Structure 1
Amino acid sequence: VGDEFLFYRNDERDDFWHMGAGTLVKSGKPDEGCLQSPGTMHCGTKGVPFCSEAWDAISRYIYTALQGGSIMHGWTKDDKVMIACCNDGTRPVIFKIERMDCE
């Protein structure tokens, strides 16, 4: 809960092709009684923060945002924001994905 990841795509970095390795910028705290993701526990400069199911659920939206596209054009008030969730119904994880444009 509260983990934040920043993905970059520029001349120096392309984080998408490394499944988010090294993108954790803020580590949150797990809710009491909730398991901490095994992926997040070893996040760091080389850790891959997402299990394969979570990555499958969010990667298409991250790729779209990194290309500068509208994540949810016509579906939400802000087409730069997407809410997605992992496919694991017994341990649901909700993701808020935002495209932040930088010059």
Structure 2
Amino acid sequence: MKKVKITILKTTFQEDLANEYGVEGLSTCPLMKEGEVYYADYAKPDGFCDEAWKAIYQYVFALAHGANDIWYYSDWIKTPGVAIVSCNDGLRPVIMKLEATYIESEAEG
């Protein structure tokens, strides 16, 4: 199993939806910052948002286990070993790039 590099590409804010549904003072995600990099395999990296992890872990798991083909029906990402994903926060979604690496995972213990 290999490590997967997770890069935070964008922290976004859906102002129109936040104005209608969000609490007063809501802004972009306070947990994730553009440019941050994490490495993961089967486990959530330290400091990584729990909700974001739930939204992306299946892609991380697939890449960590060698899924290197073009995703789905070649109608999404053009680069093998890469996925562009987001967390499930509809008001302030965070966009992430997942990349397969050659870095071997080490068993914890």
The verdict on a shared fold, with TM-score over 0.5 as the criterion, is: yes
| Aligned residue number for residue 65 of structure 2 | 67
**Shift of residue 70 of structure 1?**
2.5
Which structure ranks higher in relative contact order (CA pairs < 8 Å, sequence separation ≥ 6)? 2
**Shift of residue 55 of structure 1?**
1.0
Determine whether 1:51 maps to 2:84. no
Identity %: 32
Q: Matched residues in 1 for 2:82 and 2:100: separation?
A: 7
Larger Rg: 2
Write out aligned runs for 1:8-27 (5 A).
Answer: 15-17=41-43, 19-21=44-46
The aligned length equals 68
| Aligned residue number for residue 3 of structure 1 | 36
Runs of 4+ in 1 over 4 A off after TM superposition: none
Flag structure 2 segments of 5+ consecutive residues without an equivalent: 1-33, 105-109
| Aligned residue number for residue 77 of structure 1 | 78
- What is the CA RMSD across the aligned residues, in angstroms? 2.0
**Shift of residue 101 of structure 1?**
2.3
Bigger fraction of residues in strand: 2
SS in 1 for 2:92: coil
